[in-house]
Amino acid sequence: MASLPIGSTRPAMKNLNRHVIPLVAINWYSLGLELLNSEHEKSLEIIEENNKQDIQYCCRKMFSKWLDTCDNATWDQLIDALRRVNLSDAASKIESLLQQDATTMESRSTAVGSKRIVQQNILEGLDISTCRDCFYSCQL
């Protein structure tokens, strides 16, 4: 699950902002050095210089820079980087959020699948040729 691309789970991104950034903001620069290659160290310095008073904003900018420069950014990469800079609590929080997202998506998928099966069974019992209005009103 964690190897999903970062942008592929919208609820996780929302929760990243709400729950994880506050945990990692104090070490955003070290995390940025882990996530970005050395050629982007100057970018981190600029982020820090321009936003010294707001470390959460710095952290968001660092994540934005990482996502802009890394075509294949994954949750695994982020989790591994967090552990390398001794932010295991944040790594565990992300894993937990991803698991919650997976459970939610699985529940929604099961509900949608069940609805489709019920609708299919109903339609199989109808003679569509004699019930054109019904056919057009069905939302499959």
The one-digit pLDDT tens for each residue of the chain (140 residues) are: 446 556 555 555 676 778 788 989 999 999 999 999 888 999 999 999 999 889 999 998 998 898 888 888 888 899 999 999 999 999 998 888 888 877 665 555 554 554 454 444 444 443 333 333 333 333 33
Domain positions in the chain are: 6-109
Residues 6+ apart with CB under 8 A from 113: none
pTM, entire model = 0.66
Contact 29, 56 (CB under 8 A): no
* Range 6-109 classified under CATH 3.30.420.240: no
**What burial letters (b/e) apply to 68-81, b meaning 16+ CB within 10 Å?**
eeeeebebebbbeb
